[in-house]
């Protein structure tokens, strides 16, 4: 029998991962909206999230969650962090025993501060939990550009099976047992990307932006290690690779949020116009809670939190890093 994959979530990345899996195995995507499922089945597109990009013709979709899950051998969760637990609780009513749950979500749960695989272990104990992460911009992958990703799970047998589902010539998949490091890096890089986007909006220059990205990597690495991650993970695809892609790409949602904030718009204005979730906004609050818990100084994350949640401005966050006519310098973003 061939492995059957169910993808939960019809956003840009969930759809893209479904498209990839459909090259190798029968894949059924669950979309909340029946009209989206019909579009994928009949037109092989998802124009709301991925306009102008064709999907693999063998990718099928349904708005019936039981239909998507009850025969699946692997369940892929492509749901934002704030809806992850609720969606997984519904999946739990239909999923067969021992089926692996693969998370695509790069965020942390509000309140509990749990990583997504930890949520999986709470909601569906006994199911192998894994994460797919890395520098993966959906539009570029669908356009046929080469990319690489990491499957992180402590079980080498599960890792091998998941790798075979998604690995192909232009999408290379590697394995890593450091689940904590991969998930922390994937969540925290979104916060740094907002800071990098603010640099774009403020037109600070590439030197300043590179400085922020580099020091941002240091921040996420230090917190990630304190949370159980391995140092090498943060210099690899799940760490530096994902961080660079998210901080520099015009397709990055979190970088876009930061750019708009740098241009003087409010966080509410930016979020209201978007039809996709920028995980870094809510993650910044959780990161500051974790930084306090673990005793890690994170000035970049603190400034992003201030702009997103405390009414500060991007210009205030970059005080001391923006050229001023009077040559004055206040308190810098980077306190090192």
Q: Please identify every residue annotated as catalytic.
A: 189
Per DSSP, the chain holds a count of helices (H) and strands (E) of 15, 8
Determine contact, residues 167/173, Cβ cutoff 8 Å. yes
Query: Which residues are within 8 A (CB) of 73 and not within 5 positions of it... i.e. 6 or more apart?
Result: 3, 4, 5, 99
Q: Pick the closest to residue 196 from 248, 144, 155 (CA basis).
A: 248
**Beta-carbon count within 10 A of 66 CB:** 14
Quote the CA–CA distance of 113 and 60 in Å, as a whole number: 34
Greatest CA span in the chain, whole angstroms?
A: 72
Residue 182 near residue 291 (C-beta atoms within 8 A): no
Q: How far apart are CA 114 and CA 206, in angstroms?
A: 34
Strands 74-77 and 101-103: parallel
Q: Which of 116, 49, 38 is nearest to 76 (CA)?
A: 116
| Residue 188 near residue 156, CB atoms below 8 Å | no
């Amino acid at each position: 029998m061939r492995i059957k994959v169910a993808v939960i979530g019809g956003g840009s990345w969930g759809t893209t991962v479904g498209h990839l899996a459909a090259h190798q195995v029968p894949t059924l995507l669950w979309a909340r909206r029946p009209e989206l499922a019909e579009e994928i089945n009949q037109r092989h597109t998802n124009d709301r999230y991925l306009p102008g990009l064709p999907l693999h013709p063998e990718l099928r979709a349904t708005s019936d969650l039981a239909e998507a899950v009850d025969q699946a051998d692997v369940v892929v969760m492509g749901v934002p962090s704030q809806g992850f637990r609720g969606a997984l609780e519904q999946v739990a009513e239909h999923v067969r025993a021992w089926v692996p749950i693969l998370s695509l979500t790069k965020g942390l749960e509000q309140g509990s501060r749990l990583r997504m695989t930890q949520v999986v272990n709470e909601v569906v104990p006994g199911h192998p939990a894994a994460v797919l992460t890395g520098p993966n911009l959906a539009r570029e992958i669908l356009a046929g550009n080469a990319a690489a990703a990491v499957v992180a799970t402590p079980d080498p047998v599960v890792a091998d099976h998941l790798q075979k589902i998604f690995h192909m010539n232009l999408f290379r998949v590697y394995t890593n047992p450091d689940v904590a490091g991969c998930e922390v890096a994937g969540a925290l890089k979104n916060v740094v990307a907002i800071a990098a986007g603010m640099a774009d909006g403020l037109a600070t220059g590439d030197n300043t932006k590179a400085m922020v990205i580099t020091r941002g990597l240091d921040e996420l690495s230090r917190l990630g290690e304190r949370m159980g991650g391995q140092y090498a993970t943060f210099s690899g695809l799940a760490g530096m690779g994902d961080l660079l892609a998210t901080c520099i790409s015009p397709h990055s949602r979190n970088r876009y949020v930061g750019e708009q904030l740098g241009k003087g718009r409010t966080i509410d204005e930016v979020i209201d116009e978007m039809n996709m979730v920028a995980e870094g906004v809510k993650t910044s609050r959780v990161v500051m809670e974790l930084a306090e818990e673990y005793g890690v100084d994170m000035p970049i994350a603190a400034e992003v939190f201030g702009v997103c949640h405390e009414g500060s401005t991007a210009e205030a966050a970059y005080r001391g890093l923006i050229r001023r006519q009077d040559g004055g310098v206040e308190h810098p973003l980077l306190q090192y």
